[in-house]
Chain A
């Protein structure tokens, strides 16, 4: 039997990731997407009106044509697109996203300064939305058709029809202004001089409202998803088998229904990472939380394109990594997936 042509084998390699431990394969599979992200970012970079030299010239006031041309040559901005792409790749492989004229430090550093804050927010929001969403969804499914279900369904409906920023604003009005339970913005009590655990606890206080705002939308989504998933699983044959075994309803729900109904959730949660990042941008702005979301807005206003695109690149990579982790979780939870990937 003739061996398949080279291009086909290359395709197969990147599609299935070859052989080896899970993470190695997952990373190989992610490479084409990563390349795509880089190319996309480069294209967007090229689309930016003016370039670094124009920015410099603008800051300096004005310059002659010769000086501008010279500067371009110096920064390598007069080369062809392909060559510039090569430069870009070179720059990336040195783990650099360029320098930010405004902040004076490398772009990467600007981003990594703010990144942990956003990750904290996203993590909290994910946790809240999963726990709350799943519990509500299970309640809705078990009482399907009756008033608890109808009530919760309507609430969920309203929740995901509402934009996050508005929920945030109303939350500020309610919790910060009227009730004065929680702070209205910022990421820590200013001037309190706290450190270590105390500082973290203090920070959490400030994180609650933005996290809730970010989570609100996803709570509704997960609730509805869980409800639909549980209802579907309840019609499956293996649930009927479980009943025929005489198992208690509690055990059937726990071991047979939920273990299967929650599987789609892992897939979905992974796909929502991008949405969480976008939502974080809004939530951070509303609450003045210093993360990369707010950084994005600042960069837009200051026309800091390098920072903007750096953020885009970084967040895309974060999504890729998160998806790999979610895939791994999925293989642990569902024995069929691992077998399918292995091709058995």
Chain B
């Protein structure tokens, strides 16, 4: 590890890119070291009993989080069961076209202009959305963490180069980049997921870099070094567990953001032509906006509800993970 003191100064840079990424950064407090001031105008936090799984408890105590988790669980179940509930290709014609919802109980949500079952489309679309969301989040977290950690840890030249890389991806408009890359390569779900991940990692990297820089100069890391721990130990045992909470929160935000991006892509017709996605359903239903509103309204609502629950969970994570596990009570 570099034994030199690092630069004492860094010019102000715009913080983050992308939608709710920015939000989460502002909403969870930074690791700015606050001096242990004599603040006796605030009642002291009661000494908490050491409880296992404090995060899970905090999550489960928030009604919004519980509701969100339930809905998400439902979505996951539907996605998993899509093959059983609606075997066959949802793009196949199933019944007469433009069957309004509620008329025929075999097709409770109706059919579209080509006679395709809306319910089947929703179920299979859930698969697509969740797959893309989770994969994109995994990709961006992995890449972002690696790059951010390397930049924060090594400092100096390595940091400079990696920061340049981060800024490059931050400057390029991510949605346009996704569209361009997807159209250059192939338009399949897998590639879409990976590409979305490749355009979102800069947020994670920025975050991880900042966390690492702050943590590496924290007293307990200095203490660990003075005890003689190896560098690998310090990264994995001392630094990473403290850097994890914001990464987790950002990951949840990226899942939501990826789902929205994928739906925009398929709405615009750039998505996977062989798969049904909520976005593509809305796209095809768009022509019948006036006559058959349900074609766009129903998949749209499903999309909103899913992303909404993801955001609920994300918000709950922010409050659960932040002050408690930082241990900076009092």
Contacts and interface: CB of A to CB of B under 8 A. Distances in A.
A and B associate: yes
A166 interface: yes
A228 B173 contact: no
Contacts of B297: 170
B22 A221 contact: yes
Nearest to B185: A47
Interface in A261-314: 264, 267-268, 270-275, 277-279, 281-282, 285-286, 296-297, 300-301, 303, 305, 308-309, 311-312
Interface residues of A, number: 70
Contact of B268 (A229, A272, A285, A337): A285
A163 B311 CA distance: 13
B176 A278 contact: yes
14 contacts: A48-B184, A157-B308, A169-B300, A173-B289, A264-B26, A271-B170, A281-B176, A282-B268, A301-B269, A308-B180, A311-B180, A315-B173, A319-B172, A343-B9
Interface residues of B, number: 58
Interface in B19-40: 19-20, 22-23, 26-27
A225 B279 CA distance: 28
A44 B199 CA distance: 14
Given A37-B172, A164-B264, A274-B170, A330 B12 contact: yes
A297 B175 CA distance: 12
* Interface secondary structure of B, over-half rule: helix
Contact of B308 (A161, A164, A301, A343): A161
Interface string B305-330: 00110111000000000000000000
Contact of A312 (B11, B165, B172, B185): B172
Interface in B154-181: 157, 160, 164-165, 167-168, 170-177, 179-181
A323 B171 contact: yes
Contacts of B310: 161
B218 interface: no
A160 B180 contact: no
Interface string A248-271: 000000000000000010011011
Contact of A274 (B9, B26, B164, B174): B174
Interface in A214-255: 217, 221, 224-225, 228-229
